[in-house]
Chains A and B, each alone.
Chain A
Amino acid sequence: MTISVTINVNGQPETRDVEPRTLLVQFLREHLQLTGTHVGCDTSQCGACVVHVDGKSVKACTILAAQAQGAKVTTIEGLAQDGKLHPMQEAFREHHALQCGFCTPGMIMSAVDLAQRHPNPNEETVRHELEGNLCRCTGYHNIVKAVMAGAQAMRG
């Protein structure tokens, strides 16, 4: 049995017939081939799959595709606009906030949401807010620096 799901992904309406048990992250990765959203665990702990659903960060392994019916989803692939990197993406590169790159898409998506809610975050706020995103490479030191710099750049 399949169901039809329509989600606006990165500005494009996308309709697919999927198994009802399909998770949003599977919809993105397997049905739309948007493989920038990663799966790093199966308990909604690691945050590698964070995307924005109607502007808020959501772990895409935590909701069914069907629950995102009609929603506007932004993935890491949709963050840069008109060929120009988002300030948070720039900040991650500038501050060496990534090594293997696997946690990076989810980390950046969480960071963008964080900066929208805390336009001028201090280190403590950033560390607390990133508690749901695991990184095994960087020790978070440079991620924290990047998020503060990215938030500042987003303020303009």
Chain B
Amino acid sequence: MTNQGIGQPVRRKEDFRFITGQGHYTDDINRPGQLYAYFLRSPHAFAKIKSISTDAARKMPGVVAIYTGKDVAADKVGGLICGWTVKDKKGEPHKAPRHDIIAIDHVRHVGDQVAVVIGRSLGEARDAAEAIEVDYDVLTPVVDVVNALKPGAPEVHADAPGNLCYDWDFGDKAATEAAFAKAAHVTKIDLVNNRLSPNPMEPRSAIGEYEPGTDNTTVYTTSQNPHVIRLILCAFVFGLPEHKVRVIAPDVGGGFGSKIFNYAEETVCVWAARKLKKPVKWTSDRTEAFLTDAHGRDHVTHAELAMDKDGKFLGFRVDTKANMGAYLSTFASAVPTYLYALLLAGQYTTPAIYAEVKAVFTNTTPVDAYRGAGRPEATYVVERIVEAAARELKMDPAELRRRNFVPDNAFPYQTPVACVYDSGQYAKALDEALKMADYNGFKQRKAEAAKKGKLRGIGLCAYIEACGIAPSAVVGSLGAGVGLWESAQIRFNATGSVFVHTGSHSHGQGHETTFAQIVSDRLGVPLESVEVVHGDTALVPMGMGTYGSRSLAVGGSAIMRAADKIIDKGKKIAAHLMEASVDDVAYDKGVFSVKGTDKQVPMAQIAFTAYVPHNYPADLEPGLEASAFYDPANFTFPAGVHVAEVEIDSATGVTRVANWVAVDDFGKVINPMIVEGQVHGGIAQGIGQALLEGVVYDPKSGQLLTASFNDYCMPRADDLPSYKVGMIETPCPHNPLGVKGCGEAGAIAAPAALMNAITDALGTEKINMPATPQNVWNVIQSQNLAAAAE
């Protein structure tokens, strides 16, 4: 048992089906008699739809139906909603213009749905879509936040004047201004957080199915949170009762946030299936994914940091413009506000912070949460300006950080931006990271690189994130339309094996193993006898799903609560079997015993007795199962330090990541193998953002220029280094496992660490992500020109 429990690098239970090609992803599922949906999408970024003619297309072979926005409207289907209402500076709710599942009068980004063809085969549906004639009145689009806010800019929505979704602020403006007034030094920086496409390897897919005999609707969909999708579809889009709709998110091939949201395509599949009384299936191709999966980031920020003469931070002010895209996606409004400004204290004791955020509509794909969601953007601003400040002050960046860290004895620590950090050892993580990175040896490595004509740089990032966003009452007061608790159910079978039903959802995170380890450890059941069930609203209790690195801290805690209930009931059964008082029964690792005696009963016997209750307490219900819901008392605050070291070829502008060190504090670790894997993946996405990736729209036409893997540079094996990952452990004090969350840390920390290394190598802050060879080369050339002119 000991090699399977908490803290062990147990090999994953889910892997066998994946390495043998027996996973069941949505597109692997086919329903009898299913039809195929193909969407005709707007080729224009902004246009008025004058007319749509489907006459010729309807006569094409295999066409079952063609629907436009007018057909949807005739059925009084609701639009897609935003589930988090942000109130602006004046207390007014944000602008959330109507988002139809098929456009009715205007298309607002390239890829907007214009019509759907339902065909007997995908090929026939696609052929027919080409025969649909749409007459557009093409309008001038606007794709970036700076231009969208200019007077006279094209307005994406008539009911969002000036393209403004909200003008929001947070923090103490007066205190921050006072801090700047007494500053000995102010560092300023302008940053662009580049727009990214999440690109989970599995494209989105959905099947809608309707059974007239029972009036039941089933939705198979690539979702991180099937219950949330059911709630939105039932309560907001269709007005269907929740007990007649089942949402199944089977194996899901990665999400990174992009599969949290309710999308038009799954919604259309459900609507069309109910209309046609046949299953309707849609699977995205990769170009559709680029056009329609919610993008991430896309901030333009100016920030200023006020310090005293010793480099102690006095005040921090941030002005950010955040691109929302053409419509407000499911949780888009929360990302540049509550998931962003609340993290602007970083790991530091900055006493006064003020942030202003304008969220802006443009003729681009909607932007929403992507791995880290707001926290990478906050960390990027904080850690870039801290590094820049150190350079201006000619101080070691590590020392400047150390001077401003929240000290170990200050927890719980109230920041000026609402968070109460629960625990941490920031200096310890920094020391460990610097040691692992041989920080002191850097100067010599830089000198050696210079001999080879290479520019070597080193960069730090001391990040903090907030995971397991909760409690529900707090997020509700901030505008969330949902609670952020999690559910768990533990069901013993008579022969001692166990089902664990969780409301969170695994799409790569390894819950089937980690959660089984928790149950195995706590209830003394062999790991192979624990089956974790998730992803089906008919099988698991209402749950909130997986995002924001919440599954273990919130869902795992719910499992612990359910396990406690099992143990409590088990004690009553054990007391009866051992003819003892319940108060005298002790429990440890699957064994009930009578204190001070050698009497004991194993968990398996308790389970059997519960289901075959021949010798059983008279006042106790049979059966051994327990449900629990867990609503955390606070966020968790994972933190750590990443150190990036790069070598730049000044002739080509190519940046090679020479070394990467991550030291993270995730609290208690259940499975270190899985946690390290999460860190690796996060770093890769962060390096991708900093070096390679970036969504590009043509500023004039609004065309998406990066709509395939040929044009959007995904990190490949030969772009990336191996990583050195270390951990320190400061248990979270407010959840029963002491865990914090690890899923996003790498993506949060990596961009700032890498850009700090690149700016160190180049000797200028003036380079934006992605630091492609072309961008780097241009910076080097302009520096050479400037040097030559002197």
A residues in contact (CB < 8 Å) with B: 19, 21, 29, 33-43, 45-46, 48, 75-77, 79-80, 85, 89, 92-94, 96, 98-105, 108, 123, 126-128, 130-131, 133-144
Q: Which residues of A contact B14 (CB under 8 A)?
A: 101
**Chain B residues whose CB sits within 8 angstroms of the CB of A89 once the complex forms:** 19-20
Beta-carbon contact of B201 and A96 below 8 Å: no
Partner of B685 from A35, A37, A48, A136 at Cβ < 8 Å? A136
Q: Judging by beta carbons under 8 Å apart, are B11 and A133 in contact?
A: no
Q: How far is the CA of A104 from the CA of B680 in the complex (A)?
A: 16
CA distance A135 to B720 in the complex (A): 12
* A63 CB to nearest chain B CB (Å): 17
For residue B129, give the distance in angstroms from its CB to the closest CB of chain A: 16
The reply to whether B508 and A141 contact each other, CB–CB distance below 8 Å, is no
B200 A102 Cβ-Cβ under 8 A: yes
- Distance to closest chain A CB from B436 (angstroms): 15
* Chain B nearest Cβ from A29, distance in angstroms: 8
Give Cα A35 to B283, complex, Å: 14
Q: Which residue of B lies closest to A35 (CB)?
A: B28
Task: Give the docked Cα–Cα distance between A147 and B432 (Å).
Answer: 30
A-B contact count (CB 8 A): 179
Is residue B229 contacting chain A, with contact meaning CB distance below 8 A? no
Question: 26 A-B contacts, Cβ less than 8 Å apart?
Answer: A33-B30, A35-B28, A36-B20, A36-B22, A38-B25, A40-B201, A42-B286, A43-B709, A45-B710, A46-B201, A46-B286, A75-B21, A85-B20, A93-B15, A93-B16, A99-B509, A100-B202, A100-B252, A101-B23, A102-B202, A108-B19, A134-B709, A136-B200, A136-B201, A139-B682, A139-B746
Q: Which residue of B lies closest to A86 (CB)?
A: B19
What is the minimal beta-carbon distance from B726 to any residue of chain A, in angstroms? 14
B628-672 Cβ-contact flags toward A at 8 Å (1 or 0): 000000000000000000000000000000000000000000000
Q: How far is the CA of A132 from the CA of B288 in the complex (A)?
A: 21
Question: Would A141 and B201 count as touching, CB distance under 8 A?
Answer: no
Q: Is the CB of A48 within 8 A of B21?
A: no
Asked if B200 and A93 sit within 8 Å, CB to CB, the answer is no
Interface size on B, as a range, is: 35 or more
Inter-chain contacts of B764 with A (CB < 8 A): none
Query: What are the residues of chain A within 8 A of B21 when measuring CB–CB?
Result: 34-37, 75-77, 79, 105
Q: Please give me the residue from chain A that is nearest to B18 by CB atom.
A: A101
Contacts of A101 on B, CB cut-off 8 Å? 14-15, 17-19, 23, 251, 253, 508
Contact indicator A40/B202 (Cβ below 8 Å): yes
Q: In the bound complex, what is the Cα–Cα distance between A103 and B17 (angstroms)?
A: 13
* Interface residue? B718 (CB, 8 A): yes
| B510 nearest CB neighbor, chain A only | A99
Min CB gap B716→A, angstroms: 5
Instruction: Check B252–A41 contact: CB distance below 8 A.
Output: no
Query: Which residues of chain A come closer than 8 Å to B22, judged between CB atoms?
Result: 36, 77
Residues from chain B with Cβ under 8 Å of A93 in the complex: 11-12, 15-16, 19
Complex Cα gap A33–B202 (Å): 18
Task: Let me know if B253 and A102 touch, CB within 8 A.
Answer: yes
Interface centre among B253, B673, B682 (most CB of A within 10 A): B253
Instruction: Determine how close the nearest CB of chain B comes to the CB of A73; give it in whole angstroms.
Output: 13
Closest to A128 in B: B718
Q: Would A127 and B718 be within 8 Å (CB), given that A96-B677, A136-B681 are in contact?
A: yes
By the criterion CB–CB under 8 Å, are A135 and B710 in contact?
no
- Identify which of B15, B680, B708 contacts A138 (C-beta below 8 A): B680
Alpha-carbon distance A92/B11, docked complex (angstroms): 10
Cα–Cα, bound, A30→B203 (Å): 17
A41 x B254 contact (CB < 8 A): no
**Which interface residue of A80, A133, A136 has the most chain B CB atoms within 10 A?**
A136
Judge whether B717 and A48 touch: CB under 8 Å: no
Distance between Cα atoms of A89 and B25 in the complex (Å): 19
Q: Is the Cβ of B708 less than 8 Å from the Cβ of A96? A: no
Please, how many angstroms separate the alpha-carbon atoms of A96 and B717 in the complex?
16
Residue-wise interface mask of B (11-46) relative to A, using a CB-CB cutoff of 8 A (1 in contact, 0 not)? 110111111111111011010000000000000000
Within 8 A of A (CB), among B68-95: none
- Is B285 part of the binding interface, using a Cβ–Cβ cutoff of 8 Å? yes
Query: Which B residues are CB-close (under 8 A) to A37?
Result: 21
User: Known: A19-B123, A98-B18, A101-B251. Is A134-B716 also a contact (CB below 8 A)?
Assistant: yes
Besides A38-B253, A130-B716, A133-B717, 7 new A-B residue pairs in contact (Cβ under 8 A), listed by A number:
A98-B19, A101-B19, A105-B21, A127-B718, A131-B718, A136-B254, A136-B681
Q: How far is B510's CA from A137's CA once the two chains are assembled, in angstroms?
A: 12
Cα A35 to Cα B710 in complex, Å, equals: 25
Residues of B within 8 A of A134 (CB): 201, 709, 714, 716
Contact among B27, B285, B507 for A100, CB-based, below 8 A: B507
Shortest distance in angstroms between A131's beta carbon and chain B's nearest beta carbon? 5
Cα of A135 to Cα of B200 in the assembled complex, Å = 8
Q: Note all chain B residues with C-beta closer than 8 A to A133.
A: 717
How far is B723's CA from A92's CA once the two chains are assembled, in angstroms? 18
B684 in the interface (beta carbon within 8 A): yes
Residues of B near A85 (CB, < 8 A) are 19-20
Complex alpha-carbon distance, A19 and B680, angstroms: 43
Q: Are A142 and B714 neighbours in the complex by a CB distance under 8 Å?
A: no
> Are B677 and A36 neighbours in the complex by a CB distance under 8 Å?
no
Q: Mark B517-540, 1 if CB is under 8 A from A, else 0.
A: 000000000000000000000000
Q: Do A102 and B680 have beta carbons less than 8 Å apart?
A: no
Complex CA–CA separation, A34 to B20 (angstroms) = 11
Contact flag A100-B714 (CB < 8 Å), given A40-B202, A40-B286, A77-B22 = no
Chain B contacts of A130 at CB under 8 A? 716-718
Nearest 3 Cβ contacts at the A-B interface: A36-B21, A102-B253, A101-B18
Residues of A within 8 A of B23 (CB): 36, 101-102
User: Is B306 among interface residues, defined by CB-CB distance under 8 A?
Assistant: no
In the complex, chain B residues 715-756 whose Cβ is within 8 Å of any chain A Cβ: 715-718, 720, 722-723, 746
A48 touches B681 (CB 8 A): no
Knowing A76-B20, A139-B680, the reply to whether A41 touches B200 (Cβ < 8 A) is no
Interface contact B717-A143, CB-CB below 8 Å: yes
A136 touches B199 (CB 8 A): yes
**Cα distance, A137 to B685, chains bound together (Å):** 8
Q: How far is the CA of A77 from the CA of B21 in the complex (A)?
A: 6
In the complex, A24 Cα to B200 Cα: how many Å?
23
A42 surroundings in chain B (CB, below 8 A): 285-287, 708
Tell me whether B256 is interfacial, beta carbon within 8 Å: yes
| Residue B117 is within 8 A (CB to CB) of chain A in the complex | no
Residues B319-334 near A (CB distance < 8 A):
none
Q: How far is the CB of B741 from chain A (nearest CB, A)?
A: 16
Complex Cα–Cα for A48 and B202 (A)? 9
- Hey, which chain A residues are within 8 Å of B507, CB to CB? 100
- The answer for the CA separation of A42 and B707 in the assembled complex, in Å, is 11
* Contact A99 B681, beta carbon cutoff 8 Å: yes
* Interchain CB contact under 8 A, B722 and A100: no
Complexed CA–CA distance, A133 and B252 (Å): 19
Q: Tell me which of A35, A41, A76, A128 has the highest count of chain B C-beta atoms within 10 A of its own C-beta.
A: A41
- Asked if A41 and B20 make an inter-chain contact with CB atoms under 8 angstroms apart, the answer reads no
- Which residues of A are found within 8 Å of B714, using beta-carbon distances? 45, 134, 136
Contact A136 B256 (CB under 8 A): yes
Query: Is B433 an interface residue when CB atoms closer than 8 A count as contact?
Result: no
Supposing A42-B287, A76-B20 touch, asked if A94 and B685 sit within 8 A by C-beta, the answer is no
Cα–Cα distance between A35 and B715 once the two chains are bound (Å): 26
Centre residue among A42, A46, A79, A85 by max chain B CB count within 10 A: A42
Q: Report Cα–Cα, A112/B203, bound state, in Å.
A: 25
Given contacts A85-B19, A93-B15, contact A100 B716 (CB under 8 A): no
